[in-house]
């Protein structure tokens, strides 16, 4: 479907011989021991826009981040990212480990049409990190004197953003350049926004949301919006979310499970779940049985057999799987965020593997997003890219979008659309 946002696409400008700043999100999972990239999904998704701009004769300057001060183990140079980009493009992407200093500026000036350079990790700069963003709230027009913008904007003719996964970040590399440069959204950004817009604003009915995983705040962040505005016709709760909703109905799981939730500060969501059940109970489908480990084997337990001492429930059971399959087969739209169990463990992979394949086989339009959901799709679903309607690269931005929050990047792109640049 066409995106209704008033933003420029990359087709709206002539980039021949022009210097283009392209912000991508190629932030990738990193092996903690080797510091090597273990999943290239975001890198792969950036290729169409990069290839398109190079084919149009742009002098392409790629801005990107990896890790953060809140994720410092992954705060590493982008050397391997450049290598992988070069491999996939079939043309060299130069790399310089400097985001905006004298060496970076000179490298930008030396670019020829059809050449690309990846500058150093923008999160080397304090103005780009989460702690700075949270402590110092700047409007885009107040970011023009930041190190990144002050050093790079005068060297560029256009700005393109293809980093929807970072659209919730109010950082200079995301929202300041549109104040100064003609701006467009990249291929991936348009596709990602369009897929989520279709889910949020124009879903085929019934619209079914599968919400699971351990990051419960994501599920509860979306629930109010999609229930109150009528987006979601059915909510299938899996993972910890499913347990919390059953606890909200008075189900006792046992001391071990409840201690697990308490230590992670998750019991606070029980009362919130009660509120949703009071208003929207008919829209929910909860697990009716759960799997746990006993003597190294998978065991399943119905609600009627709870509580169970010493058990951690790490997957949904066979009855729940069948129940979810039936709902998914009838859905016009399926949105997925979070696996229904601890799929990384072989004993508890069954629920996620079966449900993910059911979604891939279902006739309705499907969107899957969030790191664990995407990883599970890659692990369990053959030809996942072709079998799901869309696989999102976004996590936090996706959750905020479906929670009804205006994203800073989208605001910046909207403003740029109507702006006249000198």
Q: Using one digit for the tens of pLDDT, what is the confidence trace for 321-353?
A: 999 999 999 999 999 999 999 999 999 999 999
pLDDT of residue 4: 62
Q: Which two tokens stand for residue 357?
A: 């394949």
β pairing state of 289-294 and 297-302: antiparallel
d(CA 187, CA 288): 42
d(CA 197, CA 221): 17
* pLDDT tens per residue across all 422 residues of the chain: 455 678 999 999 999 999 999 999 999 989 989 999 988 989 999 999 999 999 999 999 999 999 988 778 899 999 999 999 999 999 999 999 999 999 999 999 999 999 999 999 999 999 999 888 888 889 999 999 999 999 999 999 999 999 999 999 999 999 999 999 999 999 999 999 999 999 999 899 999 999 999 889 999 999 999 999 999 999 999 999 999 999 999 999 999 999 999 999 999 999 999 999 999 999 999 999 999 999 999 999 999 999 999 999 999 999 999 999 999 999 999 999 999 999 999 999 999 999 999 999 999 999 999 888 998 999 999 999 999 999 998 988 999 999 999 999 999 999 999 899 87
pLDDT of residue 347: 97
* Cβ-based burial of 110 (10 A; exposed 0-12, middle 13-18, buried ≥19): exposed
**Structural contact between residues 169 and 149, judged by C-beta atoms closer than 8 angstroms:** no
pLDDT of residue 320: 98
pLDDT of residue 6: 85
Q: Using one digit for the tens of pLDDT, what is the confidence trace for 241-271?
A: 999 999 999 999 999 999 999 999 999 999 9
In the numeric block, the tokens 């021991």 are attached to 33
pLDDT of residue 87: 98
pLDDT of residue 324: 98
**Structural contact between residues 131 and 137, judged by C-beta atoms closer than 8 angstroms:** no
β pairing state of 183-185 and 315-316: unpaired
Q: Which two tokens stand for residue 410?
A: 């989208």
d(CA 343, CA 214): 11
pLDDT of residue 85: 98
Domains plus CATH for the chain? 10-190+406-417 (3.40.50.1260), 205-363 (3.40.50.1260)
pLDDT of residue 386: 94
d(CA 237, CA 340): 8
Looking at the DSSP bridge assignments, the partners of residue 297 are: 294
Q: Which two tokens stand for residue 321?
A: 């799987």
Q: How far is CA 219 from CA 45, 238, 339, in A?
A: 25, 10, 11
Q: How far is CA 26 from CA 75, 384, 420, in A?
A: 13, 20, 30
Among residues 142, 176, 138, the alpha carbon closest in space to that of 159 is found at 176
What is the reported pTM? 0.91
Angle between helices 216-228 and 239-248 (to 10 degrees): 70
């Amino acid at each position: 479907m066409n995106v209704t946002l008033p933003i420029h696409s990359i087709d709206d400008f002539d980039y021949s011989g022009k210097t283009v700043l392209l912000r991508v999100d190629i932030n990738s999972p990193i092996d903690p021991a080797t510091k090597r990239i273990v999943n290239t999904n975001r890198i792969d998704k950036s290729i169409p826009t990069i290839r398109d701009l190079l084919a149009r004769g742009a002098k392409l300057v790629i801005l990107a981040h990896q890790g953060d001060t809140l994720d410092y183990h992954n705060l590493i140079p982008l050397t391997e990212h450049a290598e992988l980009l070069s491999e996939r493009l079939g043309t060299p992407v130069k790399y310089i480990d400097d985001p905006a200093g004298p060496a970076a500026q000179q490298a930008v000036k030396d670019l020829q049409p059809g050449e690309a350079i990846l500058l150093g990790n923008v999160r080397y700069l304090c103005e780009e990190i989460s702690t700075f963003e949270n402590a110092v709230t700047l409007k885009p027009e107040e970011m023009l004197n930041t190190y990144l913008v002050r050093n790079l904007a005068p060297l560029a003719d256009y700005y393109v953003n293809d980093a929807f996964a970072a659209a919730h970040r109010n950082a200079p590399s995301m929202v300041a350049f549109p104040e100064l440069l003609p701006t467009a959204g990249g291929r991936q950004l348009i596709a990602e926004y369009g897929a989520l817009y279709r889910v949020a604003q124009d879903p085929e009915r019934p619209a079914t949301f599968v919400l699971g995983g351990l990051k419960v705040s994501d599920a509860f962040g979306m629930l109010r919006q999609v229930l109150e505005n009528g987006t979601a016709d059915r909510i299938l709760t899996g993972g910890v979310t499913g347990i919390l909703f059953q606890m909200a109905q008075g189900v006792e799981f046992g001391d071990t499970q409840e201690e697990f939730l308490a230590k992670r500060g998750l019991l606070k969501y029980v009362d919130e779940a009660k509120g949703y059940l009071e208003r929207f109970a008919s829209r929910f489908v909860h697990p009716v049985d759960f799997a746990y480990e006993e003597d190294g084997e998978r065991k399943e337990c119905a609600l009627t057999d709870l509580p169970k001492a010493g058990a951690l429930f790490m997957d949904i059971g066979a009855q729940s799987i069948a129940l979810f399959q039936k709902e998914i087969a009838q859905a016009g739209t399926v949105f997925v965020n979070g696996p229904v169990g601890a799929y990384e463990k072989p004993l508890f992979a069954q629920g996620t593997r079966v449900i993910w394949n059911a979604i891939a086989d279902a006739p309705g339009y499907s969107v899957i997003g969030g790191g664990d959901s995407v990883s599970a799709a890659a692990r369990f679903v053959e030809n996942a890219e072709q079998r799901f309607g869309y696989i999102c690269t976004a996590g936090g931005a996706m959750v905020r979008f479906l929670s009804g929050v205006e994203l800073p990047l989208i605001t910046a792109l909207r403003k740029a659309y109507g702006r006249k640049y000198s």
